[in-house]
């Protein structure tokens, strides 16, 4: 079964019971951590262990998406976990120099026993077991990527952080599950509004929209309602501890979707 478990959605800083961006994708026999925002690692450990992860995929290098990669490094290096090969980490090319700077190292080589950094580029593709990961460069004012994950004939598209852009439209075409940020109340060059998230889902023929990364100037449930009004399709709000089946959809609008599995701590419907 292909599933996406929400670990965190807050921006730009973690809140009580609401870490920053992080998602666990289980598909095609692989487990991939998508973004590693502050707080998301502890939430991840409710569902799996670091030594079971096959890869980490990071959309961009803003702190709210990568902060817990440092904690993951410390866990893997010093946490007495089962020995594993270096964890593949896909992310912007500058990740290595950022990590080296944090650790006060001239380069990232001393970390390579633990993390295997693999730079992303536009149209980057990699197969992890039977899961295909396709990255596209998107508009966020920095080196930033959106992700399309495909396995067993089903697809998940994650916007990362970005403004509407042609590459995201191409990547998102016909996605079974579109996970889109809705950070800003008004259009900007770096983020989506809720209405733009809904328009993307409508334009690209998404089967299901999940709204995430709703910024501090918006209420996330109202944002979800605003996105749903434009999309006119199954729409929900990303809630921590909720697991969503990728590729299961119906004509149901709003609230918890039939493909949505309440997590260990029950998922909260977006609006009832
Ligand atoms: Zn962000």
Give the tens place of pLDDT for each residue, 77-99. 999 988 889 999 999 999 999 99
Ligand 1 centroid to Cα of residue 199, in Å, is: 20
Closest residue by Cα to residue 248 from 232, 259, 264: 259
141: left (phi over 0), alpha (psi -120 to 50) or beta: left
Q: What is the mean pLDDT of the chain?
A: 92
Element (H, E) at 202: helix 194-204
Tokens 């409508």 map to which residue?
Answer: 202
Contact criterion met (CB below 8 Å) for 170 and 191: no
pLDDT for res 263: 45
Please tell me the distance from the alpha carbon of residue 18 to that of residue 180, in angstroms, as a whole number. 17
DSSP state of 217: T
Ligand 1 centroid to Cα of residue 251, in Å, is: 30
Ligand 1 centroid to Cα of residue 142, in Å, is: 12
Contact criterion met (CB below 8 Å) for 135 and 141: no
Ligand 1 centroid to Cα of residue 242, in Å, is: 20
Give the tens place of pLDDT for each residue, 248-265. 654 334 444 435 544 433
Contact criterion met (CB below 8 Å) for 3 and 26: yes
Question: Domain coordinates of the chain in residue numbers?
Answer: 3-259
Buried b (16+ CB within 10 A) or exposed e, 62-85: bebbbbbbbbbbebbeeeeeeeee
Q: How far apart are the first and last CA of the chain?
A: 27
Backbone phi, psi, residue 72, to 5°:
-65, -40
Ligand 1 centroid to Cα of residue 11, in Å, is: 6
Ligand 1 centroid to Cα of residue 218, in Å, is: 14
CATH superfamily of 3-259: Ribonuclease Z/Hydroxyacylglutathione hydrolase-like (3.60.15.10)
Helix count (H) and strand count (E) of the chain? 6, 15
Ligand 1 centroid to Cα of residue 83, in Å, is: 32
Q: Is the pLDDT of residue 142 over 50?
A: yes
State the pLDDT confidence band at 233, using cuts at 50, 70 and 90: very high
**Least reliable range by pLDDT among 72-81, 118-127, 197-206, 261-270:** 261-270
pLDDT for res 193: 98
State the pLDDT confidence band at 71, using cuts at 50, 70 and 90: very high
Q: What is the CA radius of gyration of the chain?
A: 17
Ligand 1 centroid to Cα of residue 169, in Å, is: 19
Ligand 1 centroid to Cα of residue 181, in Å, is: 8
The pLDDT of 116-137, averaged and rounded, is: 98
Give the tens place of pLDDT for each residue, 1-32. 699 999 999 999 999 999 999 999 999 999 99
Ligand 1 centroid to Cα of residue 194, in Å, is: 15
Ligand 1 centroid to Cα of residue 26, in Å, is: 22
Residue 20: which residues within 8 A CB-CB, separation 6 or more? Answer: 8, 9, 10, 11, 12, 13, 14, 37, 38, 39, 40, 63, 64, 65, 67
Give the tens place of pLDDT for each residue, 143-201. 999 999 999 999 999 999 999 999 999 999 999 999 999 999 999 999 999 999 999 99
Ligand 1 centroid to Cα of residue 99, in Å, is: 19
Tokens 């959605």 map to which residue?
Answer: 9
pLDDT for res 248: 62
Q: Is the pLDDT of residue 269 over 80?
A: no
Ligand 1 centroid to Cα of residue 241, in Å, is: 19
């Amino acid at each position: 079964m292909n599933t996406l478990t929400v670990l965190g959605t807050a921006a730009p800083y973690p809140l009580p019971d609401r870490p920053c961006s992080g998602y666990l994708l289980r598909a095609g026999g692989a487990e991939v951590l998508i973004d590693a925002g502050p707080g998301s690692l502890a939430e991840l450990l409710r569902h799996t262990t670091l030594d079971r992860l096959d890869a980490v995929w990071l959309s961009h290098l803003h702190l709210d998406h990568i902060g817990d990669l440092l904690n993951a490094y410390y866990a893997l290096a010093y946490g007495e976990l089962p020995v594993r090969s270096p964890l593949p980490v896909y992310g912007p090319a500058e990740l290595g120099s950022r990590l080296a700077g944090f650790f006060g190292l001239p380069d990232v080589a001393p970390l390579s026993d633990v993390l295997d950094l693999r730079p992303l580029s536009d149209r980057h593709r990699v197969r992890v077991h039977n899961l295909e990961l396709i990255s596209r460069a998107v508009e966020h004012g920095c080196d930033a990527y959106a992700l399309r994950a495909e396995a067993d004939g089903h697809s998940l598209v994650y916007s990362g952080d970005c403004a509407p852009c042609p590459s995201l439209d191409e990547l998102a075409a016909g996605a079974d599950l579109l996970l889109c940020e809705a950070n800003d109340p008004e259009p900007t060059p770096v983020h989506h509004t809720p209405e733009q998230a809904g328009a993307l889902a409508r334009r690209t023929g998404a089967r299901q929209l999940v709204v995430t990364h709703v910024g501090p100037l918006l209420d996330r449930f109202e944002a979800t309602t605003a996105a749903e009004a434009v999309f006119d399709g199954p729409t929900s709000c990303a809630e921590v501890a909720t697991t969503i089946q990728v590729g299961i959809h119906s004509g149901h609008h709003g609230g918890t979707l039939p493909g949505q599995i309440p997590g260990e701590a029950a998922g909260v419907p977006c609006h009832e």
